[in-house]
Structure 1
Amino acid sequence: MPAFGGAFQPAPYKPSFRKFANPAPLGLCAFALTTFILSLINCSTRGVTVPGIVVASAYAYGGLIQLLAGMWEMAVGNTFGATALSSYGGFWISWALIETSNFGFLAGYESARDTNYAVAFFLAGWFIFTTICLICTLKSTLAFFSLFFFLDITFLLLAVAHFQLDAAGAPHAGCTKAAGVFGLITAFIAWWNAAAGMLENSNSFFMVPVLHFPWSEQVKNEKAGRTD
């Protein structure tokens, strides 16, 4: 039975009536890699501050592939996984479109301040959506909950960075770097959850622990002696 942390649904795992692969690890890996690269740039790692390389990943892997994984979650009857993965796939595509200046989505703003405030509105909306997802994980596992918790903080810090501009009208450097740190943590937790969904007795000598909350349905069923 697939590990809870890699099934990307906040209810106990129930296999589909058909033989489907678990699409969650694919979506989690797509999210993790793109978040990892952008977070390194937000941290100004090795002096790199231009997010151009992230745009390609945001279009293809974090965007398209994660969106497809979300659609496949619908096929296996996972409402939460379909909503979350499809939405974050849409986030990455939207972010790539914003960063692609040729499309001119930000051309209508008269100043850098207005542009940053508009981006802050965008990020604040994703903070709200992630908070909703976080609430849906309160009866799941520590690994699953932590993913959305750190992602929520990342979005909040990025929104604050675009609201709190420096003298030159640029996003606040300290908040941006802090968001990069939390984004890196988020990426590694996403990979952890993906590994939990891929590692099985057939391909690994060990399993990845996901730490069920004591009040989760899984633990309640185990205490009651049920395996369903």
Structure 2
Amino acid sequence: MNPTYRPLANPAPLGLLGFALTTWLLSMVNAGWFAAGAVSMVLAMAFAFGGAAQFVAGVCELPRNNTFGFVAFCSYGSFWLSFALFVTFFQGAHGTAPASFVAWYLTLWGVFTLMMWVGSLAIGRAVSTIFGLLWVTFFLLAAADFTGTATFKVAGGYFGLATALAAFYLAAAEILEAVRGHEVLPMGRVSAPAPVAAVTGRFAAA
């Protein structure tokens, strides 16, 4: 029996859906659709799906030799975990964090996302759309905390909803491609996916 490579499953849809569902829930609150009390459900999602599942998806990108996916999913998984930890355990425990400091937190994530957006331009339009909408979302939410202007928060909420929809779309496109064996929903790839199985994989008896 000769060993052959068995392709690894694509973890991106898991990470994208963890990001999309949690972002959609929080963005509904930011957009003013629900009161701040609804954040408790967002925190549960941030721990279980937006944080944990997305981080797992990032780790699963390592054997696929996908540096961008590894950094993106682990980073945004960590973002959701840090957000949930702050609101659940630390906010108020050592004094309330000034709004301007929270704004800096959001600004730094906006800068990081802007960097990732530049990198995503080499991948495809569907990916770059997500990151393009997301860095605008972070900066709008940061502006809301810097200025105390509710309009910025509402705008950030709507950009967050658009970001979540873009992530939902890409997750669906990648799942359909995996099931059908060909691209069903256009993703606007700049180049074809890397032949992961030719680089790494797990052996199976032929």
> Which residue of 2 is the match for residue 129 of structure 1?
112
Q: Is residue 154 of structure 1 aligned with residue 145 of structure 2?
A: no
What does 1:1-228 align with in structure 2 at a 5 Å threshold?
18-45=6-33, 47-50=34-37, 51-100=39-88, 103-109=89-95, 115-165=98-148, 172-200=149-177, 202-203=179-180, 207-212=184-189, 216-218=190-192
**Aligned counterparts of 1:115 and 1:206: Cα–Cα separation in 2:** 47
Aligned with 1:200: secondary structure?
Answer: helix
Contact 1:35 1:184 in 2 (8 A): yes
Per the normalisation by structure 1, the TM-score is: 0.76
> Which residue of 2 is the match for residue 169 of structure 1?
none
Contact 1:106 1:115 in 2 (8 A): no
The Cα shift of 1:196 comes to 1.5
Unpaired runs of 5+ residues, structure 1, are 1-16, 166-171, 219-228
Unpaired runs of 5+ residues, structure 2, are 193-206
Contact 1:98 1:106 in 2 (8 A): no
Computed over aligned residues only, the root mean square deviation of the Cα atoms, in angstroms, reads 2.0
Supply the AA of the counterpart residue of 2:87.
E
Supply the AA of the counterpart residue of 2:184.
M
Supply the AA of the counterpart residue of 2:170.
N
Q: Which structure has the highest helix share of the two? A: 2
Per the normalisation by structure 2, the TM-score is: 0.84
Aligned with 2:129: secondary structure?
Answer: helix
> Percent identity, aligned pairs only?
40
Supply the AA of the counterpart residue of 1:174.
T
State the 4+ residue runs in structure 1 displaced beyond 2 angstroms.
47-50, 103-109, 200-206
